[in-house]
A = this chain, B = another copy of it.
């Protein structure tokens, strides 16, 4: 308390935030000692530390991230590129990644790319690398596969849902396992085969689900009906459902996500089919609504929290050690059986 407070500055507007030097002056130490206290270094005497802490409190000191990042070269920030929070899976992933990153002491800088054009993705990358991030998480970006797309080589990247062959590590739900569980479930119930409403053709997740559905049918020597395509929306599921109502012998439908399943359900119900007595329907994702539909929807639940946890830890490994294990991690999903599936109608 030597009364050296020059600009105490109450709640006024921006009379310049106090710096380490201000804190140092008030505590009667060098700014380096303040730095040591802020960073929890061991070699500061307890009494000194307390004096510094109290000065920090009095002045309302907050470290300046820009200055710190400038000198350390680290931002403790992750960039996150996604294609909108519209889809349930994306929203859950973004949410989980954000929370996992926070737990690891990182902040998340989000970019929502409006379209899947190469240019848009490129711009997003530019914005992030110009911006200050230590690494970039890309969610569901099929376009990145384009060989022409040159990612900045000096920033670690982890992908959530993408192609396995890329040179970046990837973490995803085991889509193939999920689709297999669904298909086997329906076959085991006695259905002769299973129809599939797939997601968009350029989605890796959709493709893997479809391939696994196909393979599982083959293994079981079941006929493989022609696949229909949607775009993840309930509207597209509804369209596909209307097509299916006109095909004879459809007793089991596997939609690649819950929203399309909902659309299929509506089309079936409008056509007078009962679910599950006439047609069994399965979705994928387990959105919150699925348990409360009438009938409730059998589906596959992905463990987004585990996926996010792995993404973040891979990211941080890369940032801190520089290693880039270009491997793929799959997280097992879980089949949730509800009311929308049953044995096929007899006769």
Contacts and interface: CB of A to CB of B under 8 A. Distances in A.
Contacts of A269: 294
Copy total for this chain: 2
Contact of A64 (B60, B70, B77, B111): B70
Contacts of A67: 66, 70
Given A62-B130, A130-B65, A262-B293, A114 B99 contact: yes
25 contacts: A14-B154, A17-B154, A64-B70, A65-B69, A65-B131, A66-B66, A66-B70, A77-B131, A85-B95, A99-B114, A102-B127, A107-B111, A109-B109, A109-B110, A110-B110, A234-B288, A234-B291, A259-B288, A259-B289, A259-B292, A262-B289, A265-B294, A266-B292, A266-B296, A269-B294
Nearest to A150: B11
Given A62-B130, A69-B132, A235-B291, 14 more contacts: A65-B69, A66-B69, A85-B91, A85-B95, A86-B288, A98-B112, A99-B112, A102-B127, A262-B289, A265-B292, A265-B294, A266-B292, A289-B289, A294-B294
Which of A91, A108, A109 has the largest number of chain B CB atoms within 10 A? A91
A94 interface: yes
A142 interface: no
Given A65-B130, A234-B291, A289-B262, A98 B75 contact: no
Contact of A262 (B63, B77, B292): B292
Contacts of A345: none
Contacts of A325: none
A207 interface: no
Nearest to A64: B70
A347 interface: no
A230 interface: no
Given A130-B62, A233-B288, A288-B234, A102 B95 contact: no
A41 interface: no
A151 to B, nearest CB: 10
B77 A86 contact: no
Interface in A5-27: 11-14, 17
Contacts of A14: 154, 322
Contact of A13 (B85, B234, B322): B322
A3 to B, nearest CB: 24
Which are the 6 A-B pairs with shortest beta-carbon distances? Answer: A66-B69, A85-B95, A234-B292, A66-B70, A65-B132, A11-B153
